[in-house]
């Protein structure tokens, strides 16, 4: 029997079906991986081994009864932004340090119904605001990857950094993530795994702690395109409790991942070739182009002229929505309270103590851009440019079936680097934000290593609700790239 945590979800499902091992065995292997690795990585805020064993036992029973679900017995990490009934849910914020939701998010409810096993709640940037997982109120997450010949701690990316680190280090077979401006794709790229942000409206937002409502989308993170397809199949679908949820059938993503790219037109947007972009990333991008062409895709140069405005638009829209979404953390109905002289003093002390620096910054920027006299200059203007960004995509997708770009402008950086100036940190999301603003699906697939031995991802962007093409291109890239490098810190690994 192989080392269980190394299996892909697809392989584990086969093994479970063939009774090569049980869900309990698979889960125990992951629990012990967490026990040995998480003290180093801090990928989990809350571990739920008892719940996991209970769910695994139920999965084994279901399989024995012939009623196994599509994810029966698969151990997952759940980003601590998804409410799981009866399990502490913090959004990595001290303000929710002791919050136990009496309700379940739709995505996790669907995963439970599919038979998945929850290993715990994965760390993230506080309220998903960050690209490095260093803003968590529960400590930074360490990337399981290290530079060649160095054991300097690197960031896993963010905000779904705990999910990414858990999956990359084999503590979990897959994880849920959420992506507001790149929070699934950028950490996937930094940790050598695959992640997809589906179309806005594909996965229900019900029960997911909100950051920026018009951008937030849940999606899967796993070690293969096929595994992401399996997970997304279970996570997505219409939910009447989310007004922005799309009433559309869920396609067979797993089949789509094997479709190939023959005859597809793939666009290469000129504007993603940014000043100062490293030659390694440019080189990897060209490799990606070649791989797709070799497999029968037609490569087309396209233009998305408003790309460079995506990031500034995002840093107006997302904080504005966040400033409002986070107003509910006032110490009245749930969460941490710090007493004050009167109600207002209580609010101010509660929020000063409960929120970290980055969250406060964003709330303040958001408050400012919505305030009297500034709304038109900032928020309204940003919304109009957001419309232009969507128009860029619409026009490009009239010519091509998908776009290929790098996922991030760099590989993982060191914990503590890039923290002096918030704007430098924001630049991490330069390639991922436009798709978020337009609401289109986008995936990151590991495509190679940089000179220091760190993984780099390529991003595939598709049309609204055409995740199938994204999976098809992702599958083709994965096959051609043959990415097989392993992180330094991993279950069953050398360290």
Residue of 337, 414, 453, 493 interacting with another protein (CB under 8 A): 337
Instruction: Name the phi and psi angles at 315, rounded to 5.
Output: -80, 5
Residue of 139, 374, 395, 495 interacting with another protein (CB under 8 A): 374
Cβ contact 175:184 at 8 Å: no
Q: Does 342 bind another protein (CB under 8 A)?
A: yes
Nearer to another protein by C-beta: 174 or 439?
439
Q: Scanning residues 114 to 173, which ones bind another protein (CB under 8 A)?
A: none
Window 82-121: contact mask with another protein (x via CB under 8 A):
xx-----x-x----x-xxxxxx-x----------------
Cβ contact 480:294 at 8 Å: yes
Give which of 231, 154, 173 is closest to 197, Cα–Cα: 231
- Residue 331: count of CB within 10 angstroms of its CB: 20
Residue of 94, 153, 265, 360 interacting with another protein (CB under 8 A): 360
Q: How far is the CB of 82 from another protein (least distance, A)?
A: 8
Q: Does 63 bind another protein (CB under 8 A)?
A: no
Query: Residue 118's beta-bridge partner residues?
Result: 76
Q: How far is the CB of 304 from another protein (least distance, A)?
A: 14
Cβ contact 469:264 at 8 Å: yes
Q: Does 452 bind another protein (CB under 8 A)?
A: no
Nearer to another protein by C-beta: 311 or 454?
311
Nearer to another protein by C-beta: 50 or 342?
342
Q: Does 395 bind another protein (CB under 8 A)?
A: no
Window 243-272: contact mask with another protein (x via CB under 8 A):
xx-xx-------------------------
Look up tokens 């026990």; give the residue: 35
Q: How far is the CB of 104 from another protein (least distance, A)?
A: 10
Residue of 220, 331, 441, 462 interacting with another protein (CB under 8 A): 331
Nearer to another protein by C-beta: 278 or 324?
324
Q: Does 273 bind another protein (CB under 8 A)?
A: no
Q: Scanning residues 411 to 430, which ones bind another protein (CB under 8 A)?
A: 421-423, 426
Give which of 204, 254, 181, 227 is closest to 459, Cα–Cα: 181
Nearer to another protein by C-beta: 152 or 327?
327
The window from 16-24, 38-46, 289-297, 312-320 that contacts another protein (CB under 8 A) reads: 312-320
Spatial strand order in the sheet of 117-122: 44-47, 117-122, 75-79, 174-179, 217-222, 194-197, 442-449, 455-462, 402-406, 265-269, 298-302
Q: How far is the CB of 214 from another protein (least distance, A)?
A: 4
Token duo for residue 219: 């999606």
- Residue 251: count of CB within 10 angstroms of its CB: 17
- Residue 151: count of CB within 10 angstroms of its CB: 10
Q: Does 184 bind another protein (CB under 8 A)?
A: no
Q: Is 79 a catalytic residue?
A: yes
Nearer to another protein by C-beta: 50 or 376?
376
Q: How far is the CB of 169 from another protein (least distance, A)?
A: 28
Residue of 147, 287, 381, 479 interacting with another protein (CB under 8 A): 381
Q: How far is the CB of 175 from another protein (least distance, A)?
A: 18
The window from 16-24, 81-89, 277-285, 289-297 that contacts another protein (CB under 8 A) reads: 81-89
| Alpha-carbon gap, residue 338 to 107, rounded angstroms | 33
Q: Scanning residues 187 to 246, which ones bind another protein (CB under 8 A)?
A: 200-201, 205-210, 212-215, 217, 240-244, 246
Q: How many residues in the chain? A: 495
Q: Does 49 bind another protein (CB under 8 A)?
A: no
Count of residues engaged in binding another protein, rule: CB under 8 A? 103
Q: Scanning residues 19 to 38, which ones bind another protein (CB under 8 A)?
A: none
Q: Is 224 a catalytic residue?
A: no
Q: Is 245 a catalytic residue?
A: no
- Residue 287: count of CB within 10 angstroms of its CB: 16
Q: What is the largest CA-CA distance in the chain?
A: 70
Catalytic residue among 22, 79, 160, 189: 79
Catalytic residue among 72, 131, 136, 159: 159
Residue of 378, 397, 413, 431 interacting with another protein (CB under 8 A): 378
Q: What are the catalytic residues?
A: 79, 159, 183
């Amino acid at each position: 029997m192989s080392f269980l945590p190394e299996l892909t979800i697809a392989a584990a499902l086969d093994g479970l079906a063939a009774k090569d091992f049980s869900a309990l065995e698979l889960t125990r292997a992951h629990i012990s991986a967490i026990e040995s690795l998480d003290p180093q990585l801090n990928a989990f805020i809350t571990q739920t081994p008892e719940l996991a064993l209970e769910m695994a036992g139920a999965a084994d029973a279901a399989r024995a009864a012939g009623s196994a679900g599509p994810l029966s017995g698969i151990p997952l990490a759940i980003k601590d932004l998804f409410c799981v009934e009866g399990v502490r849910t913090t959004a990595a914020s001290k303000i929710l340090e002791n919050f136990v939701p009496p309700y379940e998010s739709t995505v996790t409810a669907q995963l439970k119904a599919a038979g998945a096993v929850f290993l715990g709640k994965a760390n993230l940037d506080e309220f998903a605001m960050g690209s490095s997982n260093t803003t968590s109120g529960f400590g930074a997450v360490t990337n399981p990857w290290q530079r060649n010949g160095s054991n300097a701690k690197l960031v896993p990316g963010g905000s779904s950094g705990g999910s990414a680190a858990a999956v990359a280090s084999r503590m979990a077979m897959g994880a849920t993530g959420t992506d507001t401006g790149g929070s699934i794709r950028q950490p996937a790229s930094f940790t050598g795994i695959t992640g997809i942000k589906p179309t806005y409206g594909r996965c229900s937002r019900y029960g997911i702690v909100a950051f920026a409502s018009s951008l937030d989308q849940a999606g899967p993170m796993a070690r293969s395109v096929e595994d992401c397809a399996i997970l997304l199949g279970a996570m997505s679908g219409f939910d009447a409790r989310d007004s922005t949820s799309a009433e559309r059938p869920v396609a067979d993503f797993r089949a789509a991942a094997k479709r190939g790219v023959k005859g597809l037109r793939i666009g290469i947007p000129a504007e993603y070739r940014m000043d100062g972009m490293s030659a390694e990333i440019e080189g990897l991008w060209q490799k990606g182009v070649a791989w797709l062409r070799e497999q029968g895709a037609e490569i087309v140069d396209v233009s998305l002229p408003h790309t460079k405005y995506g990031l500034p638009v995002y840093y107006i829209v997302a904080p504005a929505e966040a400033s409002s979404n986070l107003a509910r953390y006032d110490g009245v109905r749930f969460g941490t309270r710090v007493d004050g002289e009167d109600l207002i003093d209580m609010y101010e002390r509660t929020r000063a103590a409960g929120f970290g620096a980055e969250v406060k910054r964003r709330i303040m920027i958001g408050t400012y851009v919505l305030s009297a006299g500034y709304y038109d200059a900032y928020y309204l203007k940003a919304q109009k440019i957001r419309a232009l960004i969507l128009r860029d995509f619409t026009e490009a997708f009239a010519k091509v079936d998908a776009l290929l770009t790098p996922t991030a402008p760099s590989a993982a950086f060191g914990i503590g680097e890039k923290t002096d100036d918030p704007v430098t940190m924001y630049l991490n999301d330069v390639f991922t934000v436009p798709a978020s603003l337009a609401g289109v699906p986008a995936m990151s697939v590991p495509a190679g290593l940089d000179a220091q031995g760190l993984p780099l991802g390529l991003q595939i962007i598709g049309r609204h609700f055409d995740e199938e093409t994204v999976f098809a291109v992702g599958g083709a890239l994965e096959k051609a790239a043959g990415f097989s490098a392993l992180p330094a810190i991993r279950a069953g690994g050398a360290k």
